[in-house]
Amino acid sequence: MRLGVLAAIFGCCFGIAQAQSGPVVVELFTSQGCASCPPADALLRDLTAHDDVLPLSLHVDYWDYIGWPDEFASSAFTHRQRSYAHATGRTMIYTPQMIIDGQSEVAGFKPVKVMELIDAHRARPDRVSLQVVRNGESIRIKMAPLDASLPRPLEIVLVRYLPHAHVEIRAGENAGRSVDYTNIVRDWRAVAEWDGASAAVIETEWQGDLPGAVLLQEEGPGAVLAAARLR
């Protein structure tokens, strides 16, 4: 499918009334060394136009051996992708792969399927309340259960990302291509756990100028139950 058709897909799929108040988190596992990834990278860029979607690009390092080391790649993101596979009983990982809200996965470039899954996750009711306020170099995170059957515990995750980078790739499978990358994750870390039994407030550091987000995610990794942006 040509990327020019995506506007029509977005217009179709995002017309449904929204039930979930926080953005749907879309993780793209990608690499500058993967010839199949640029269309998925472009789709992720298109997703940034929608406030109710939080697209995140996680660059893995297992393509670096081909001859072009991805400057954004991290073994931690490879480990995260493997952890998703292990949690669902799979043994193989691949790029590109999108994980929607920590639960639904799409292998390869399948924009219609991605949009359908985003729409389905948007329609789900909130199970937790999440509010994040920044004050200088610290943030206050307020959480409250909206569902008595919440999984426990939930990880409180801080994510920081570089909004955009243009890369001229000179070797590997994408040699000679120029690729624009969006919301490139530079830091992903769990800072605390919440038992989900009652309302809670925590404060933690938030330094630097990069935008980011706070996520509440089941261990595993599992479902992302809430997300809030920090700009």
Residue 16's pLDDT is 30
CATH class for domain 3-230? Answer: alpha beta
Which residues are CB-neighbours of 86 under 8 A, at least 6 positions away? none
Whole-angstrom distance, CA of residue 214 vs CA of residue 109: 27
Summarize pLDDT for 83-105 with one digit per residue, the tens: 999 998 888 999 999 999 999 99
> Domain boundaries in the chain?
3-230
Could you count the other beta carbons within 10 Å of the beta carbon of residue 208? 11
Whole-angstrom distance, CA of residue 205 vs CA of residue 132: 12
Amino acid at 39: P
Residue 190 tokens read as 């769990």
pTM of the predicted model as reported, rounded to 2 decimal places: 0.90
Summarize pLDDT for 104-145 with one digit per residue, the tens: 999 999 999 999 999 999 999 999 999 999 999 999 999 999
Whole-angstrom distance, CA of residue 118 vs CA of residue 127: 17
Sign of CA dihedral 108, 114, 120, 123: positive
Summarize pLDDT for 46-70 with one digit per residue, the tens: 999 999 999 999 999 999 999 999 9
Whole-angstrom distance, CA of residue 112 vs CA of residue 108: 12
Residue, of 197 and 18, whose pLDDT is higher:
197
Summarize pLDDT for 166-224 with one digit per residue, the tens: 999 999 999 999 999 999 999 999 999 999 999 999 999 998 999 999 999 999 899 99
Residue 220's pLDDT is 87
Nearest of 30, 54, 68, 226 to residue 147 by alpha carbon: 226
Residue 181 tokens read as 């990358």
Q: How confident is the model at residue 20 (pLDDT cuts 50, 70, 90)?
A: low
Amino acid at 72: F
Residue 145 tokens read as 């259960």
